Amino acid sequence: MEPIISARGIKRYYKRGSETVKALDGVDLTISSGEMVALLGPSGSGKTTLLNVLSCLDAPTDGTLVVAGKSVAGLKEEALVEVRRGVLGFVFQQFHLLPTLNVAENVELPLLFLGLKPDRRRTDEVLAMVGLSDRKTHLPRELSGGQMQRVAIARALNIDAKILVADEPTGNLDKVTGEQIFQLFKKLAKENDLALLITTHNTAFGYKADRVITMEDGRIVKEEHPGSAQASLRP
């Protein structure tokens, strides 16, 4: 598979008083379309920083990064916005739905921010993907937590993203609902040739991914392929 994200020697340093914090300290990682990758590790391990750098929400201090064919290392925020536009979709622990908009309107909201006219057929299509065709006129308060997260996923898909990024997407959900959301992510990645990058504290959910990356002290210390019994330790 052709990589859609390619990172080499990625570093992210920042100052905290007189101390230099090495949030990322030389990370190499390649992610392909159709692949679900989970980032695991304790708080402070660097997984959220890596997620932010790979999704162009933050810029690396050093290293090379290519996202969807574009070299992005060293770009300013204005240029990073253009890289993210129409390429990356985001799903977070908090659903961030507007309470006065119905499901369909929440799903179409990112298009308005991009200056694009919503396509109701596309809206219906992504709602069908997440199993919410019968909820499109409902308000967020009329939905369960799992349904609200599905709306958030549909909203990310509606811009025709090539990469879906999910930061602790099941953190506010119960175990059964979280399991359903992870299975949905995996299904969407395969059926739509999406690259799916997820952080989670729930290792049981993480190991449902195609590949598991374990972070420690800003480095990748282990890479595993659940189901294939393949694992490698990084030096």
pLDDT, tens only, 31-86: 999 999 999 998 889 999 999 999 998 889 999 999 999 898 788 888 888 888 87
Using the predicted structure, report yes or no on whether residue 157 has a pLDDT greater than 70: yes
Instruction: Give yes or no for a contact between 200 and 170, defined as CB atoms under 8 angstroms apart.
Output: yes
- What pLDDT score was predicted for residue 95? 86
d(CA 232, CA 225): 9
pLDDT of residue 31: 96
Closest by CA position to 84, among listed 94, 99, 101, 72: 72
The pLDDT of residue 86: 76
Compute the average pLDDT of residues 162-186: 87
pLDDT score of 74: 80
In sequence order, what E strands does the chain have? 3-16, 19-32, 36-40, 62-67, 70-71, 88-92, 163-167, 195-199, 211-216, 219-225, 230-233
Question: What is the residue whose two structure tokens read 């953190």?
Answer: 171
Rg (CA), the chain: 18
Q: Are strands 211-216 and 219-225 parallel, antiparallel or unpaired?
A: antiparallel
pLDDT at 218: 94
Residue 172 amino acid letter: N
pLDDT of 118 higher than 70: yes
Q: Is 121 helix (H, G, I), strand (E, B) or coil?
A: helix
What pTM, to 2 d.p., does this model score?
0.85
**Tell me, what's the pLDDT at 214?**
95
User: DSSP secondary structure string, 65-87?
Assistant: EEETTEE-TT--HHHHHHHHTTT
Question: What gap in Å lies between CA 30 and CA 166, rounded to an integer?
Answer: 17
**Poorest-pLDDT segment among 19-23, 57-61, 115-119:** 115-119
Query: Contact, 235 vs 223, CB < 8 A?
Result: no
Give the Cβ contact number of residue 83 at 10 Å.
Answer: 18
Pairwise CA distance, residues 132 & 126, whole Å? 9
Q: Rounded CA gap, 176 and 51, in Å?
A: 25
CA 171, CA 201: separation in Å to the nearest integer?
Answer: 8
